[in-house]
Structure 1
Amino acid sequence: MKHPVDVHVGKRIRHRRWMVGMTQQQLAERVGIKFQQIQKYETGMNRVSASRLWDIAETLAVPVSFFFEGLEGGANKPVESALPGDILADKEALELVRSYYAIPENQRRRLFELARVLSDAA
């Protein structure tokens, strides 16, 4: 049976991997494992050891704590406080975020302000 924390950590690995535009194969090669193991981590089928999570975090350029963000509750009953419908699991949303961060910072800020104004008007 999958533990909810393992599922959450796996989702966070997948989300970050997508955000940096890395394939499972590329991540696996950089961490020194087979891509099938990355698949198992991302689905929560296998638990990620502390040392492996450390390696994954370094490869994906995030702190280890990144993988636990969004978890609340006790050890036996974690509750995900994610966006509605797990928006980061949506490939279109991830592509939008990637494209957004590819825009130069000054233009990105202006686009952000425009989006804020449009959402307030809706």
Structure 2
Amino acid sequence: MAHPVDVHVGKRIRHRRWLVGMTQQQLAEKVGIKFQQIQKYETGTNRVSASRLWDIADALDVEVGFFFAGLEDDEGEGEVAKIYPSDLIADKEALDLVRSYYAIPEQQRKHLFELARCLSDVA
């Protein structure tokens, strides 16, 4: 059985890879491994070594700490868990929305953000 930390790190790898629009194959090539190994990391089946996590962080342009963000929240039910799905990172629709949002030019994105904020206040 996979360790919860390995599963969390794997989800964060998948999340970041998906957000930057990179395939498992592309990430594997940047890191110098086979894409099947990336699959195993993303599911938590295989544990990522420190040096490999360093390489993955570099390839995905994030700090190593990114992969551990939110780990302490997985144990308990915080305020965020009451509002959002328990695994927002795994929600393809939410990630697609974020990716689309960042594809919008900055000035239009600011307007869209303000509109979304106003609509959420009304709801």
2:61 is the counterpart of 1:53? no
Q: Provide the aligned C-alpha RMSD in A.
A: 1.6
> Which stretches of structure 1, 4 residues or more, deviate above 4 A after TM superposition?
80-83
Among all aligned residue pairs of Structure 1 and Structure 2, give the percentage whose two residues are the same amino acid: 79
Alpha-carbon separation, structure 1, partners of 2:4 and 2:90: 16
| Normalised TM-score (structure 1) | 0.90
3-state SS in 1 of match to 2:17: helix
Q: Residue 12 of structure 2 contacts residue 89 of structure 2 at CA under 8 Å; is this kept in 1?
A: no
Asked if 1:84 corresponds to 2:85, the answer is yes
Size of the alignment, in residue pairs? 118
TM-score normalised to structure 2 length: 0.90
Counterpart of 1:5 in structure 2 is: 5
Letter of the structure 2 residue corresponding to residue 117 of structure 1: C
**2:101 is the alignment partner of 1:100:** yes
Q: Which structure features the higher share of helix residues? A: 2
Which residue number in structure 2 is paired with residue 35 of structure 1? 35
Paired position in structure 2 for 1:63: 63
Question: Is the 2:8–2:68 Cα contact (8 Å) retained in structure 1?
Answer: yes
